[in-house]
Structure formats: structure tokens, C-alpha cells
Structure 1
Amino acid sequence: MEPHRLTREQARRIIVRAQLLEADRPGDVVEVAEQLGAIKIDPTAVLAPSEQTIPWTRIGWGYEPGQLTKAVEDDRQLFEYAGSFYPASVLPLMRVRMRSRPLRESAAAWLEANAAFRADVIARLHRDGPLLAADIPDTAAVPAGNESGWYSDNQVPRMLDLLERLGEVAVVGRVGRLRRWDVAERARGPEPDGPDADEAGALLDERRLQGAGLARQRSSWSGVGMAGEPALVDGSSWKWRVDPRALAGIDDDPGGRVAILSPYDGMLFDRPRLIEAFDFTYKLEQFVPKAQRVYGYFAHPILCGDRFIGLLDAALDKAKENLVVSAVHELVPWESEERDAVDAEIHDLAGWLGVPVRGLD
């Protein structure tokens, strides 16, 4: 088919709308996960963990952190997998992908060398689960390397992470930041009849495009493959894929708003798309030496309508119980209305955190 032709403004509007960042706000965290496809989990809590700030950025005052726990642990409308929360509607497709997921040669060799350890972990969860990793004995015969530094000498968390990716165990809840594990068949029920791996992959590509709205064709950053329909964007040489449902409402414009985004927000993941569509280059300076930082350790991008206009360098001071604003960086000159809207959003953020603002002029 002939590609759809989009202006840059239309392209940005499609992306912003797909990410639920326009004036119309979603009603709850399940609606957010259904549209975005996934909510990233990360313990870095300069303001709040990403799995809490991502829903708040969309929902606003109607969101409370306990809603996420309820949706995951009580209502089972969301589930945790590999560092993100997903809507239950994609679980059958993802279970197909888990069964067919290839492992790196080193990981496969480590599992083979620790076959008895693997069986021990599964048996312990069958008998006593759900359990924390600390409740499961480490009976590994061969330790794995730890070049990344993510793991301790205890091999149980590594085994659980690998078995989760293969669909044999599942996270069923948390105690603080610690995950509670169980065998997958008890946590998620029997394996459903469903599509084959290729069909499941194509359907998951469509769900990812739903959350992206518009993405580069076959980009490793977006993972949408050939889902949707072809599109061209004015001034861009890329071959794009667009969600046809996004095109249907392209002329319905409820208006924009200010949104303060977690550095781990899915809106920011596709860095090349940020540059191509929004002319915005974002670098998280969390791992940059302090003397070389430009915008701050964990600066939050500020979206105004369909433009990135600044970055917020702020942190929650738990001891003094306030939100400390170190800087609000303007990437472009702001109009007075934009400044007022950003200030209001920062005060709303502080109110959601339950603290006053300090340092905002």
C-alpha cells in the first residue's frame, strides 16, 4: 500500500497521544498499561520509583501507588515479567514467546551445568511457594561469572531470573522491593492454547506499535517490526510504521499539557526517534561523573504539548520532607504561560509526593 504522509506535527501528535500524554488523561493504571504495553520497574527513587511516576505522569491526581499493587497482586489485571509490569491481555502471547526464547550460549551452558540446582529450585517452589529468593537454598554446582556486577555470590536470583524468562517461574508479588516467586503453572494457570511463535511475535509487535503510535520500520529500538501501515514524515528519510487506529483520530486534538517524565519512561526509550521526531537529544547522566554533568544526576525531561522544552533536576529529601528543586533547565526560551504551567506541574508532583517544594523561584 502507499505510505501515509504525515507532517512533523502530526507525527509528534500521534506519538504523544499513543503515550497518553495529551490533555485527556486515562482513568487508572490498568488503562495505562493496556495502552503503553509495559510499565518499567526500577528501584532508583530520586523522586519515586519509575513504576509509580510513569502512571502518575499520565493519570495525575487520580493515581495512588496502592493501585498498582492491587492491580498486580489482588486483581491480577497486570503481571510482572523481566523488569516491567504488563497487562494480563498480553500474557498468553508472551507465554508463547517465553517457551521459544533462545538463551545466550553461556546462559544455556550454565543451566545445563546446574541441572540439579534448577530442579531443586522448582521443587522448593512447588512445595513451599511463593517464596523470596532468600528462602531458597543455593545448591549451584557451578557459579556463573558476574562481569556486570548485578548479582551477588548467591546463585538463586540468577537462576530465578533465567527460569522466569523461560516461563517456568513467575513473580507473584513483592515484599518491599523483594520479589516473591512461584512456579508459573500455579501463578498463571495452565499453558493456554494459542498462536505459534511467529504469530505471537507479530501480535506483540502490534501491541508495541499501539504504545508507540509511530516508529521506525524494523528498528531494534522500537521492536514493532512490520506491524501497522507504512508512513512517511515530512523532512525525515526514515521508513515509518504507523498504528492505523492512531490515524483514525489524528484530527481530534484535545490539546496538550505539561508532563514531567521519569528518565525510565517508555516515551524516552527510543532515543533515535526522540531526535528524528522531536529534535530532542536526551542523555541520562546518572552514570556520568558529577563534574561532567550538564543537567543533573537524574534530570526529568519536561514535555509541553508536543515539544520537549526543558529538564527538571530535583530530588525528594526524605529526611527534611520536601521536594528540592536544584534547577529547571530551559532548552528553548519559555513563554510566561509555559513557565506557569511547568511550575504548576512541579507543585502537583510535590503534592502527589506529599511534600512542599523548596528551591523553585
Structure 2
Amino acid sequence: MRTLTRDEARRIIVRAQLLDADRPGDVVEVAEQLGYIKIDPTATIAPCEHTVAWSRIGWSYEPGQLQKAVEIDRLLFEFDGTFRPMSILPLMRPSMRRHPRHERSRQWLEANTRFRADVLARLAGEGPLLASQIPDTAQVARDTESGWYGSNQVPQMLEMLARRGEIAVLRREGRHRVWDLAERVWPTDLPEYDDAEAERLLHERRLQSAGIAKQKSPWTPVGEAGEPISVEGSRAKWRVDPEALAALDDDSADGRVAFLNPYDSLLFDRPRLEEVFEFTYVLEQFKPKAQRVYGYFAHPILIGDRFVGMLDAEVDKARENLRVTAVHEFLPFEPEEHEMVRAEIAELGEWLGMPVVGSA
């Protein structure tokens, strides 16, 4: 069994996440490789789904490309707070049919059989509809202590039916989702897989997007996909994507600078981030201001295969500029690194169509 150095492991991960110099061509290619693009409205610079795409594609990415891929071309679909490639939907259908798995959720759904039928009938007869256009006819209210939902049961029923694959998001009006029956949104000629085959293929897709992952990671479950590998300094059992391993010695693509949205998929597996990149990432969005070190929604800075600092920047909508509050350096930058980061900030400003002000 081969042992990877940390440098090699990082290079595999960065390439798998499309953050090397060999940039992808469009947002569909990004979604196909990453497996999903997170949706989040926090937009100190731009919403997550757009900064994820820009950090991979670069200046040629325009937000309208994502909307077209989802709402017109139907190459991507929205599910559970993410945009995903349509090619992965058949692999998700078996688990959708088993939803919900938690007993309390099953009891709530069973107690609201008539409510569920009302929602489906209204969409069938009148859809597509916003949640606000669907009346709440629930027989039993669900616990709202989590704070995610109010007393209106419609959003919860819509989420439940979406996870079951009965309804789907057709499009968005601003940040609001427009719902319809899944059979009218998704292709009807998708292949069918049994539970075991779907799970195996999902594990392979996850490993493809991760490059390497711990075999028993709850963050990136990959099962027996790929090949066993060990990583320098780690006692854990790892799996590696065979194609990524075969391409390891290809040095044709150099590293580059990338600013990562705090909800970027590369940052999701925190244990791997610490063990391989030696980077402990803490999102300060929910910390009191006095306890923040780098900023409310600072973006980690990746140069090549190492995290070197944090970008604290924000779009000032009133003044129509990109204000850079600080570039925090974990270790003092070399002159070349300073220049690379400044150039990337300038590229970000050009992509946003705004001048850059502040210190960089």
C-alpha cells in the first residue's frame, strides 16, 4: 500500500476540487466534479453558489450561467440547499424513497396524510407555486423549537416532500423557491438503481470529488470506493481515487491563488483539513464581534496547496465598491505571494464590476 506525503495528499485534494491552475470551462463541469454547489445567501462578497463557481472558473463565470443550467437546460437541480448535477439524481432516488428515517418525522408525516395530499393536489392542479401560495391545512403541528421554522407547517411539508422526491424546485424568484411536482421538473428517463448499487456509485462520486478521504469519515463517506492508501503522519485508513493517484506525477498544472467561500466544499471536512492541510478553520460568523480574529465572513486564502491567510472583504453596495478590510497572513508573505494575492483581489473586483478600496 502506497504512503502519500502530506504534499502529495494536498495536491490530490486541490486538483479534485478544481483549485489548481487547470480551470474548468463552466459551472456544470464544476458541479459534476464537486458533486454539489452549496447555496447560502450570506453575501459579504457574493452568495456562496457564485463565489464557489468563480473561484474555480475565474473571470468568465457569470451568475446567469448557473440559473440557465438549473432552470432552462436542466443539467443541474436544486436539492436540500445545494445545486447538484442531474447525473447524480438517479443515485439519490433509492434513499429518497426511504425518507424520512427518523421516527418522529415519520409520525408527523403519517399524522398529516390529508395535508400532504392537499399540497400535492394543489401543485398538480395549480403549480408551480411559492410556499406562500399554499395554505396550511396540517392536522398536527411539528415542534418549532429549533428556530428554523415558524408555526406555518407548509415549509416543513415542502421540505419533507422534496427529500422524498415527490416535489422539486422548478426555479427561484429572487431567493424564494417555486415548487412543482418532481415528475414535471426532473427528466423522466433517468436510469434506475437498487440500493446497494446506488450507494456504491455515490461513494465513488464522493471520492472522485474529494480525491482522498478517510474510509470511515462521517464528513465524506466513501465506503470501499477507490484504493487503500496511507498518509504521512496519520494512523487513519484512507481511500484514494485511482485516477487522481495516477495523475499525481503530472506537474503540468501549477498552483494558483484561490479565495474560498466559508461554505466551500473543500472546507467541509474539518478533520481532513487539519490533518492534511494543517489548517484549523473556524467560521467566525456566529461569534460575538469581540471574539473574532479574522472577520465576520473572512475567506480562507489558498496558494497552491497551502492555506496562507484570510481575506476580510465586503461589497459596499451604497458606494458600489469592494472594500478590503484586511489580508491576514498566517506567516509573512513572500513578495511574489503578495503580488499574487493583490492580483487575485483585483480580478475579484473586476468580476464584481467594482473598484477595490482598502488595504491589500
TM-score with structure 1 setting the length: 0.97
Q: Is the 8 A contact 1:133 1:181 kept in 2?
A: yes
Q: Which letter maps to 1:140?
A: A
Greater displacement, 348-357 / 116-125: 348-357
User: By how many angstroms is 1:189 displaced?
Assistant: 4.1
Match of 2:325? Answer: 326
Structure 2 match to 1:316: 315
Q: Equivalent residue for 1:41? A: 39
Of 218-227 and 169-178, the range deviating more from structure 2: 218-227
- Describe how 1:123-162 pairs up with structure 2 within 5 A: 123-162=121-160
2:62 and 2:327 map into 1 onto residues whose CA distance is 26
1:341 aligned partner? 340
How big is the alpha-carbon RMSD for the aligned residues of Structure 1 and Structure 2? 1.1
After superposing the two structures, state which structure 1 stretch, 55-64 or 87-96, moved more: 87-96
Counterpart in 2 of 1:58?
56
SS state at 1:241 partner? strand
> Amino acid of the residue matched to residue 53 of structure 1?
T
Provide Cα deviations, 1:245-303, integer angstroms capped at 9, x if missing partner: 10111111211000000000000000000100010000000001111111111010000
Structure 1 residues 1-361: aligned runs within 5 Å: 3-190=1-188, 192-253=190-251, 254-361=253-360
Q: Distance in 1 between matches of 2:337 and 2:188?
A: 52
Q: Distance in 1 between matches of 2:263 and 2:187?
A: 31
Residue 225 of structure 1: how far off its partner (Å): 2.0
Q: CA offset at residue 92 of structure 1? A: 1.1
Structure 1 runs, 4 residues or longer, greater than 3 Å off = 189-193
| Residue identity (%) | 65
What amino acid does structure 2 have at the position aligned with 1:288? K
Contact kept, 8 Å, 2:257 with 2:344, in 1: the verdict is yes
Query: Is the Cα–Cα contact under 8 Å of residues 185 and 191 in structure 1 kept in the other structure?
Result: no
Q: What is the TM-score normalised by the length of structure 2?
A: 0.97
Q: Distance in 2 between matches of 1:148 and 1:316?
A: 31
User: 1-side partners of 2:94 and 2:105: how far apart?
Assistant: 20
Q: Distance in 2 between matches of 1:73 and 1:323?
A: 30
Deviation at 1:193, TM superposition (A): 4.9
Distance 2:325 2:146 in 1: 32
* AA matched with 1:62: S
Q: Would you say the 8 A contact 1:218–1:226 is kept in 2?
A: no
Using the alignment, how far apart are the partners of 1:353 and 1:189 within structure 2?
Answer: 34
- Where structure 1 has 5 or more consecutive residues not aligned to the other structure, the ranges are none
Name the stretch that deviates more: 276-285 or 4-13.
4-13
Q: Number of paired residues?
A: 359
Give the Å deviation of 1:78: 0.5
CA–CA distance in structure 2, aligned partners of residues 191 and 144 of structure 1? 36
Q: Show CA shifts across 1:200-259 (max 9, x none).
A: 011011101111001111200112222111001112112111000101111112110000
Query: 3-12 or 304-313, which moves further after superposition?
Result: 3-12
